Amino acid sequence: MTIDLRSDTVTKPTSGMLQAMMAAKVGDDVYKEDPTVNELENRLAKMFGKPKALFFPTGSMANQTAIKLHTNPGDQVICDKYAHIYNYEGGGASFNSGVSCKLVDGHRGMFTAQQVEASINPPDFYHSPLTKLVEVENTTNKGGGACWDFEELIKIKQVCLKHNLGYHLDGARLWNALVAKNETPKQYGELFQTISVCLSKGLGCPVGSVLIGDEDIMQNAIRIRKILGGGMRQIGYLAAAGLYALDHHFERLKEDHDKAKDIGKTLEKQQWIKKVELIETNIVIFELNDDINETEFLNKLKDKQIYIIGMGSNKLRMVTHLDYTSQMHERFLKTISTL
């Protein structure tokens, strides 16, 4: 039995999902004639109380499009030092939009309205890049699946309004936050101008992200997607997976969170552990004692067909997901308590 806890992206479509994909009605989505894609986009737009939604092959492309929609070359984006758009999108913000990032020194990938206010360059000081956009991530990836305090997001919105800044949410794992904090998509739709959500993380789809937003700002989204090479044809097969996942794989995210918390509790009892970070959703980040070699530790797990990710400086990451079953969970907990 292989136990793969490297990411929640390693899941494979369930048979129910495959059946839904096979049965999808499709058309050419470049002509907006794919009924299943249209249905998914309409459903997500409605869910978030927004007029527009657009399907993307990846979350990175959805975020990159959002950045382009909010900015002009030379502008600056405020985001956390841990932000996915800064660390894990291949430098796309500078490559695609010609913008720089002003990094906020946040806590677990999250920051305060005060920190945003302090990061804004005065617009009449033409020596500095023009601040145009605030980007937040919920849940945070590098921050260990942490969930934002919604009140702080409201305060940041007020700063954005005051300074005429765009407000984008990288909601690749927003589904996890909604379940963990008992929040609604509409709350987020009211706050942000644009929101990207992933179908291929906790929801278990093979592909797909959706960018949701206001009418005016989304007008150009389909053109940017085309420029980035994301205009696709009969992708109703992929959208059908998304529709199926919203029906069947959303509420169950709680199981992933519970398993992650179990893992945390077991890890905390081990003397080879220095620290386990707070677990709020499906990501577990922990630190090994200084006398333990990270590579050796990872290899030891590999010998037992257990795969997790090393993040450097003796920090390791595990992510629970749809394909991490109760049997695997039992075996995994037993294994870590007897290492």
Ligand X SMILES: *Cc1c(COP(=O)(O)O)cnc(C)c1O
Binding site for ligand X (CB under 6 A): 58-60, 63, 84, 137, 141, 170, 172-173, 198, 200-201, 209
Question: Cβ(192)–Cβ(134) under 8 Å?
Answer: no
For the record, the structure tokens of 287 come out as 């630190």
Shortest spacing between CB 212 and ligand X, in angstroms:
14
Other CB atoms within a 10 A radius of the CB of residue 26 amount to 18
Residue found under tokens 């005051």:
162
Question: Which residue of this chain has its Cβ atom nearest to ligand X in the complex?
Answer: 59
Shortest spacing between CB 311 and ligand X, in angstroms:
14
Q: Which is nearer to ligand X, 171 or 185 (CB)?
A: 171
Residue found under tokens 């959706």:
210
User: 3-state DSSP call for residue 226?
Assistant: helix
Shortest spacing between CB 270 and ligand X, in angstroms:
27
Shortest spacing between CB 8 and ligand X, in angstroms:
9
Shortest spacing between CB 201 and ligand X, in angstroms:
6
Q: Which is nearer to ligand X, 99 or 120 (CB)?
A: 99
How far is the C-alpha of 282 from the C-alpha of 279, rounded, in Å? 7
Beta bridge partners of 169: 136, 195
Shortest spacing between CB 2 and ligand X, in angstroms:
22
Pairing of strands 306-307, 3-4: parallel
Shortest spacing between CB 62 and ligand X, in angstroms:
8
Q: Which is nearer to ligand X, 120 or 260 (CB)?
A: 260
Q: Is the dihedral of CA 47, 51, 53, 59 positive or negative?
A: negative
Q: Which is nearer to ligand X, 63 or 76 (CB)?
A: 63
Question: Cβ(135)–Cβ(67) under 8 Å?
Answer: yes
Pairing of strands 273-276, 209-213: unpaired
Q: Which is nearer to ligand X, 84 or 102 (CB)?
A: 84
Of 232, 195, 249, residue with least CA distance to 56: 232
For the record, the structure tokens of 247 come out as 């029906």
Residue found under tokens 């000081």:
125
Greatest CA separation for the chain: 62
Q: Which is nearer to ligand X, 80 or 120 (CB)?
A: 80
Q: Which is nearer to ligand X, 131 or 281 (CB)?
A: 281
For the record, the structure tokens of 307 come out as 């795969």
Q: Which is nearer to ligand X, 29 or 137 (CB)?
A: 137
Shortest spacing between CB 125 and ligand X, in angstroms:
31
Residue found under tokens 């008992």:
182
